Amino acid sequence: EQQAFIKDFQDAVVELLREFRREFPYKQIVRWSIEYGDDQQHCLEVLVKPPTHQTMDKH
């Protein structure tokens, strides 16, 4: 159950970052590090790299 939540959360964060990139299409790397748990023993890393010369996948 927690794994499913984390997966959904991660997908939502990635989607947010994609929107951010569409608004601000600069060549930056967006990296979020989210620590959670009783004593922050879990860490969720989300990394969105700038688009290369290839087209980004659009859903």
**Can you tell me the distance from the alpha carbon of 56 to that of 4, in angstroms, rounded to the nearest whole number?**
26
What residues does each domain of the chain span? 2-48
pTM of model > 0.85? no
pLDDT for position 51: 67
Write the pLDDT tens digit of every residue in 37-57: 788 777 777 777 776 655 555
| Alpha-helical segments (H) within the chain | 2-23
Residue 24 pLDDT > 80, yes or no?
no
SS3 36: strand
